[in-house]
């Protein structure tokens, strides 16, 4: 099969098309012909940082985590998928797991689910990593109907799905962003938009929660922005974050009695730990998508698999609006 190989890591490294061995199916796997694969920020980090990240594959490597495609063969221990099924998942591109920038992947059946019938392969490929992250962040925070939920980065990859899912779960949702384009995206999902460049935390807490603070804060920006999350949170509130790689004074967390959840969705793939949880979450997302409650936002620019280098550069440039997808 053809795969896009990365022979060395670094910002100037190039993907090269090469013929590689088609994966040999193991008893617990599904062989999938890949139709599309999306590019996530962690993919660009692996490409640029390589061995500095403990979960990077050894070079030469086929990167890519998310995919949508069609099952062409199933292992003897697989009972929930059949040949011809359209599936999606986040199943490769880490450690010894072959990535999705290729014609085929032999995916662990626990990491995949049936693709929603009402969206395209391109749309489905955009969902797994960010969708699982958004779902996990909200459910670990025990989101409830009528909760006041704040999503930092509400027009981003994880954020735009977190906004829609929180609305689906019955919460009152506000989300931060910047600029007219992002404000319209957030409002289009039925959430209150907050331009963090013009509104301070105290102002929007007063405006949207009568000064009480948010019951749940989902911080997809993280880093120093966690301080804003602590400030915006109500007493005994829940905070979920996807970016907590920093030293931070947790005194506000203590005095408000906050609970902090760190969502690192790659754990099941890296450590082979509770992989079935990802398949279950994706199956739930399929149901939610099929009733029309969630729809992924895709960047307008289209890329073929051989243009994956341009796709990575486009995402890294910060100019993309929505998920960047490459298609076979």
Q: In the chain, what are the domains?
A: 2-127+273-327 (3.90.180.10), 130-262 (3.40.50.720)
| Residue 63 contacts residue 57 (beta carbons within 8 Å) | yes
Neighbours of 107 (CB within 10 A): 29
d(CA 189, CA 69): 28
Q: 128-140 and 276-290 are packed helices; what angle lies between their axes, rounded to 10 degrees?
A: 100
Kind and range of the H or E run holding 151? strand 148-152
| Residue 181 contacts residue 321 (beta carbons within 8 Å) | yes
d(CA 327, CA 122): 7
φ and ψ at 223, to 5 degrees?
A: 60, -135
Q: Look at strands 86-90 and 192-195 and give their pairing.
A: unpaired
Could you read off the pLDDT tens digit of each residue along the chain, which spans 328 residues? 999 999 999 999 999 999 999 999 999 999 999 999 999 999 999 999 998 999 999 999 999 999 999 999 999 999 999 999 999 999 999 999 999 999 999 999 999 999 999 999 999 999 999 999 999 999 999 999 999 999 999 999 999 999 999 999 999 999 999 999 999 999 999 999 999 999 999 999 999 999 999 999 999 999 999 999 999 999 999 999 999 999 999 999 999 999 999 999 999 999 999 999 999 999 999 999 999 999 999 999 999 999 999 999 999 999 999 999 999 9
Does residue 60 have a cis peptide bond before it, meaning omega lies within 30 degrees of 0?
yes
């Amino acid at each position: 099969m053809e795969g896009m190989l990365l022979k060395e890591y670094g910002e100037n490294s190039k993907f090269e098309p090469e013929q590689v061995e088609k994966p040999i199916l193991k008893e617990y796997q599904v062989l999938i012909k890949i139709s599309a694969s999306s590019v996530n920020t962690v993919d660009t980090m692996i490409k640029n940082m390589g061995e500095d990240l403990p979960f990077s594959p050894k070079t030469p490597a086929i990167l890519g985590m998310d995919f949508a495609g069609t099952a062409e063969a199933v292992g003897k221990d697989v009972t929930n998928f059949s040949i011809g099924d359209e599936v999606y998942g986040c199943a490769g591109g880490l450690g010894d797991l072959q990535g999705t920038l290729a014609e085929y992947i032999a995916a662990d059946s626990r990491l995949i689910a049936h693709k929603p019938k009402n969206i395209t392969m391109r749309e489905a490929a955009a969902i797994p990593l960010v969708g699982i992250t958004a779902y996990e962040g909200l459910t670990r925070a025990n989101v409830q109907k009528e909760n006041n939920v704040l999503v930092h980065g509400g027009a981003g990859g994880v954020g735009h799905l977190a906004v829609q899912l929180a609305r689906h779960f019955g919460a009152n949702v506000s989300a931060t962003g910047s600029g007219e384009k992002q404000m319209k995206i957030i409002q289009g999902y039925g959430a209150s938009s907050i331009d963090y460049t013009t509104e301070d935390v105290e102002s929007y807490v007063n405006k949207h929660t009568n000064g009480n603070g948010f019951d749940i804060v989902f911080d997809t920006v993280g880093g120093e922005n966690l301080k804003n999350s602590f400030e915006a949170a109500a007493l005994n509130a829940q905070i979920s974050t996807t970016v907590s790689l920093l030293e931070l004074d947790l005194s506000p967390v203590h005095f408000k009695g906050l609970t902090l959840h760190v969502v690192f969705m790659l754990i099941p793939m890296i450590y082979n730990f509770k992989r079935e949880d990802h398949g279950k979450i994706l199956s739930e997302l399929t149901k939610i998508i099929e009733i029309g409650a969630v729809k992924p936002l895709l960047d307008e620019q289209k890329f073929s698999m051989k243009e994956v280098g341009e796709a990575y550069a486009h995402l890294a440039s910060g100019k993309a609006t929505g998920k960047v997808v490459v298609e076979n």
